[in-house]
Amino acid sequence: MLYHVRMDVRIPLDMDPGVKADLVAREKAYAQDVQRSGRWPHLWRIVGKYANVSIFDVESNDALHDVLSGLPLFPFMDIIVTPLATHPSDINT
């Protein structure tokens, strides 16, 4: 199943810089592992924001929730999930 996911990150401004650096490093490693697994085939930054738009390819709603809730920055994110379906005019399907 394909999902369009927007993630807006809101790290508290008063977070200890060392804690923030560790959190961001763990986030990058986790995100890259999920991408390598094929479950996160597309990731784009939204210009001018600490946010991204991504496409996830996972087997279920629960699987997507597991991936998203595993993100180290998950507690600091506002996430909007939109399930996707094939379009009848798409020449690639």
Quick check: 93 pLDDT over 90?
no
> Per residue in 14-70, pLDDT tens?
999 999 999 999 999 999 999 999 999 999 999 999 999 999 999 999 999 999 999
pTM of the entire predicted model: 0.92
Per-domain boundaries in the chain: 2-84
Gap between the Cα atoms of 21 and 88, Å rounded = 45
**What CATH class is the domain 2-84?**
alpha beta
Neighbour-count burial for 17-45, b at 16+ CB within 10 Å, e otherwise: eeeeeebeeebeebbeebeeeebbeebee
> Per residue in 30-45, pLDDT tens?
999 999 999 999 999 9
End-to-end CA distance of the chain: 14
| CA torsion angle 57 59 65 66 (round to 10) | -100
Tokens of 75: 């507690």
